[in-house]
Structure 1
Amino acid sequence: MRNRFLWIFLWFFGVLPVSAQDLTHLTPLTTADEARAWQAVGRIEVEGNGFCTGALISDRHVLTAAHCVYSQTLEAIVKPGDVVFRAGWRDGRAAAVRTARRFVVHPDYTFTGRDKVARVGSDLAVIELDLPIRDPAITPFERDASLEFGDEVMVVSYASGRAEVPSLQKLCHVLADREPVMVYSCTVAFGASGSPIFVQSDTGPRIASVISAMAQWRDRNVALGATLGDPVDRLLEELKREDPVFNGKPAKGEKTSIAQQLGRGGGERRYLLLPQIGD
C-alpha cells in the first residue's frame, strides 16, 4: 500500500520512472539533418512558469495549448511580453526567437474548469508573435482535421528531462475519438503541453491536434489532445480584430471523471494536465 501511494505521488509531481512513459519510443533530434524538417516546432518559455511546446502555423502564429499562457500560481493569463517562442530550439540555439505580441484562447476554455473533457477539448491557443519569422528554412505547418480512430500519428515535443533537444515519436495511434478530445498512445511528459500531433500527407506532416494532458485510460498511459478544425480558424479570425478576446468562458457540465466522459466509466485512475515546467 505504501508503494502505491508513493507511485501516485511521483505521478502527480512529474517524476515517474522512465519505464512508466516508455521513453524508448522517442528519438532525440540531435543533429541538424534530423531536426531540419521540424524547425517550426519550438519551445515556448513563460517567465516564472517554465516552458511548453508549440508550432508555427503561419509566419507569425504559434499553435499551442491554452493552459500554457496561464500562470499556474495566479490562475490568470500571463502578459504577452513574458512569453518567448524559440523555433527549432536545440542545444542552446534557436533557429529564430520571437516574443509574443498577444494571444487568444478557445472561447470555451477555463483554466480552473471542473469538466475535464471540456477543458481538454478546448485547450487551444494561438500566440501572435511580435515579428514574423520569414526564414526559408523554417516552414510553418499546415493543418488537418481528419483524425479518426486507429490513425497513425507522430508527435514532436520538448519535455522534462529532454528540454534542450526536440524529440520525435514517429509512430503512435489514435486510441479513441471522443470529439473534441482524442486519446493517443503517444509518449508525453511535463513540458509537452502544446506539442503538435502530426498526420502524414502527400505534402508532408500536418498538424491535426495539440497535446493537452496525460492520463491512465484502460489500464495504460495515454496522451489527450484537442482536435482542431473550426476552433483554430475562429481563433485566427479573432486575432484579426482590433481587440481580441483573451479570456475563455467557464465550461459547463457535471463534475465527472474523464474516463466516464470518454465512455469508459470507472476505468480512469489519474488525469493530469501537462503544465509548463522549469529546467
Structure 2
Amino acid sequence: MFRTVVMIFFACVAGVATAEDTRLKRLDTGDDSRGWEAVGRLDIGGKGFCTGALIAPDLVLTAAHCLYDSLSGAQINHEEIEFLAGWRNGRASAYRWVRRAVVHPEYVYNGKVSADRVRNDVALLELHHPIRNTTVVPFATDQRPKKGDRIGVVSYARERSEAPSMQEACRVMARQSGMLIMSCEADFGSSGAPVFSFQDGVPRIVSVVSAKAEVAGHKVSLGTQLEGPLAVLKAALAQGQGAFSAAPAPRENRITVGTRNSSSGAKFIKN
C-alpha cells in the first residue's frame, strides 16, 4: 500500500550491479509456503492491504504508514484490520482481528518520504487472540545486516495479492541514517513486508519494507531500522498503550531535504 514513489540518488551506491537472479517466486502450494505461514496479509478496512509478519503468537510487525489514511492523514481504526496468516488462494492458516496497535513515537506521516520517515516506519499490532497453530511459527528478529549481506523478502503486492511471493537473492546495498537500501523489488501491498537474514540457514526478521525507490536506474526498496524501535514498541504495549485514537497524524517537523540536518546524502523527490 505504498502511497509515495520516490527517486533517490545515493552517490555511494551509484552504478551498483544486480547480477544475481532476484526474480520473485510465488509461494502457491503448501510445499512452497511451508515455513512462511507466519507472514500474512493485513486487510485494512476494505481500503487496501499491507504485509505483516508474526514475531510472537499475538504480535504482528508491519510498517507504520499502513495505519494511516492516504487522503486524510488520519490514523485508521486498527479494529478494522484483520491479519490473515499464510493467506494463499482464498484461505488462511489463521484469521485474527487487531486489538491494539502502536506506531513508533518518532514516526511522521505526511505523505513525503524522508530519512526520518523511513527509519521510524514501523508498527506493532497486538491480536485479539494469540495464534496457537503449529504450522504458524513466529519469526525471531535479529540485528541489521551489513552492506553486501544476502537478504530476502516475503510479501503480498498488487497483482499478487492472493499468495505471497519470495525474493531471496537480494542484497543490502547500503546502510544510511538508520535505513537499509536493498536490491529487493517492492510494489503496492509490499509495505510492511518482513526483510529476512539467513545466517546459519535460519530466517530472522531484520527490517520492514517501507518504500520503493530507484538508485542509478535500478529499482530498490528502503527498509526501516528495527532493533531500537521494536524495543520501544514492545514497551509501549506493555504500558497499556495502543488503544485507538482518532487524532490526525502529526505534521513533519524534522528533516527538510537539503538542510544540514540530512546526513544521508539522499534527495527525496515526489513522483
TM-score strictly above 0.5: yes
Amino acid at match of 1:255: T
- Count of residue pairs the alignment pairs up: 249
Contact 1:214 / 1:271 at 8 angstroms: preserved in 2?
A: no
Q: Give the aligned partner of residue 257 of structure 2.
A: 256
Matched, 1:79 2:81: no
- Aligned partners of 1:50, 1:114: CA distance in 2, in Å? 19
Please point out which of 97, 116, 119 is paired with 1:118: 116
* 1:147-184 deviation per Cα after TM superposition (whole angstroms, max 9, x unaligned): 11111100000000100010000110001100311100
Residue 203 of structure 2 is aligned with which of 202, 205, 214? 205
Contact 1:115 1:255 in 2 (8 A): no
Deviations 1:28-50 (A, max 9, x none): 00110110110000000101320
Q: Aligned to 2:87, which of 68, 86, 89?
A: 89
CA distance in 2, matches of 1:271, 1:121: 18
Tell which deviates more after alignment, 96-105 or 232-241. Answer: 232-241
Q: How many angstroms apart in 2 are the aligned matches of 1:118 and 1:271?
A: 16
Q: Distance in 1 between matches of 2:159 and 2:146?
A: 31
Query: Where does structure 2 lack aligned partners over 5 or more consecutive residues?
Result: 6-20
Matched ranges for 1:138-177 at <5 A: 138-177=136-175
Q: Which amino acid aligns with 1:108?
A: E
SS in structure 2 opposite 1:74? coil
**Equivalent-residue separation in structure 2 for 1:245 and 1:108 (angstroms):** 18
| Partner in structure 1 of residue 99 of structure 2 | 101
* Distance in 1, Cα, partners of 2:155 & 2:253: 31
Q: Please give the secondary structure, in 2, of the residue aligned with 1:103.
A: strand
Map 1:13-24 to 2 at 5 A. Answer: none
Flag the 1:93–1:108 CA change in 2: closer, same or farther, 3 A. Answer: same
**Separation in structure 2 between the aligned mates of residue 24 and residue 229 of structure 1, nearest angstrom:** 26
C-alpha displacement at 1:254, in angstroms? 4.0
| TM-score, L = length of structure 1 | 0.82
**Is 1:49 matched up with 2:47?**
yes
- Greater share of residues in helix: 1
Alpha carbons of structure 1 residues 114 and 68: separation in structure 2 relative to 1, 3 Å: closer
What is the CA distance between 1:73 and its match in structure 2?
2.3
Q: Residue type matched to 2:129 in 1?
A: L
Percent identical: 40
Is residue 22–residue 167 contact of structure 2 (8 Å, CA) maintained in 1? no
The alignment yields a C-alpha RMSD, in angstroms, of: 2.5
Question: 1: CA distance between counterparts of 2:164 and 2:255?
Answer: 38
Counterpart-to-counterpart distance in 2, 1:234 and 1:92? 35
Q: State the structure with bigger RCO (CA 8 A, min sep 6), 1 or 2.
A: 2
1:90, 1:164 within 8 Å by CA — same for their partners in 2? yes
Structure 2: distance between partners of 1:108 and 1:250: 11
TM-score by length of 2: 0.84
Q: What residue number does 2:233 align with? A: 235
Partner residue in 2 for 1:219: 217
Check the 8 A contact 2:110/2:252 in 1, yes or no.
no
Task: Letter of the 2:83 partner, please give it.
Answer: F
Structure 2 residue 73 is matched with structure 1 residue 68: no
1:28 alignment partner in structure 2: 26
Code of the residue aligned with 1:253 in structure 2: it is R
Post-superposition shift, 1:70? Answer: 1.1
Name the SS of the counterpart of 2:224 in structure 1. strand
Cα pair 1:121 1:180 within 8 Å, conserved? yes
